[in-house]
Structure 1
Amino acid sequence: MANPKAGTPRPQIHLLASESDMVAGLALQAEERQPVVAAMLLGEIERAELYDPESLPDDAVRLGSDVDFVDEKTSQLRKVRIVLPLHANIAEGRISILTPMGAALYGLRTDDSIDWPDLDGKSRRIRIVRVSQSAAGASQPSVN
């Protein structure tokens, strides 16, 4: 699990109830191949506040969301779309929900920050600058 700095509270996670079930299923399927990411994602889902589509805050990161965030260590602004693994293409800015960064962003809202391990296991503080919901995100096929 992500280890926040002592005294740094972790932000609330906001998820669609129906989507969280599907993403938890993907994480369970990925446990053998990606145990660390699967455990982090399942932990975030477990502590999330669940919503129906009408009540989920518009700026909550979900599948298909376009997210602008800052890596506080480098001050680099990045723009990504959170997608299912099948649709991931880092060159086009689409990152899988089953990556450390995808799992970190999932469920956060504008202005939220979280300490999260990167691909090398080093803790990074990331801050959400903007979240928008893409029309393409809503049309992503579900995974069986």
Structure 2
Amino acid sequence: MQHATESRPSGQILISEIDHDRLTGLARALLDRTPEVAEELLSEMDRAVIADAAAMPADVVRMGSTVAVSSEGGDIQRITLVYPGEADIAENRISVLTPMGTALIGAAIGQVVCWSSRDGRELSVTIEAVDTLTSGPQRI
């Protein structure tokens, strides 16, 4: 069964307390070196609804989630959202500090996430599935 997709409103983001604390600390540590990246992540954390890790819905993207996303052309790509030291583009391991990674954190299945690439292009993907370390894949 397919549900309508929705763009994520500016106030709708759900983050576990653990991810929120780690990501806020990471962003603050980067303020001097990469202020634009740090400020974007801090902005996401400021608008986050914080939940206990055990209460996080399985369909929400969190750190370590493998996410199936579709682009406007319908191509499906599977990526894993990771911390910067774990990123590896050859293995589709995307850092949360990339524009796409920051846009994905806290979003849920069926949502369209949008971001500006570092070269200024407006990009978006629809979240089709989320597979977390603690549960199986969730699909629309």
Same fold, TM-score > 0.5, yes or no: yes
- CA displacement at 1:40 relative to structure 2: 1.4
Q: Supply the AA of the counterpart residue of 1:126.
A: V
Alpha-carbon RMSD across the aligned residues, in angstroms, is 1.8
Instruction: Give me the TM-score of the superposition, normalised by structure 2.
Output: 0.82
Contact 1:11–1:108 (CA under 8 A) maintained in structure 2: no
**3-state SS of paired residue (1:21):** helix
Task: Pick closer, same or farther for the CA change 1:16–1:123 going to 2, 3 Å.
Answer: same
Q: How many residues align?
A: 127
| Cα separation, 1, equivalents of 2:71 and 2:62 | 19
Is 1:114 matched up with 2:113? Answer: yes
* 2:79 corresponds to: 80
Gaps of at least 5 residues in structure 1 are: 1-7, 136-144
**3-state SS of paired residue (1:20):** helix
* 1:23 corresponds to: 23
| Cα separation, 2, equivalents of 1:97 and 1:28 | 14
- CA displacement at 1:28 relative to structure 2: 1.4
Runs of 4+ in 1 over 4 A off after TM superposition: none
Instruction: Give me the TM-score of the superposition, normalised by structure 1.
Output: 0.80
Gaps of at least 5 residues in structure 2 are: 1-7, 135-140
- CA displacement at 1:11 relative to structure 2: 6.4
Percent identity of paired positions between Structure 1 and Structure 2:
37
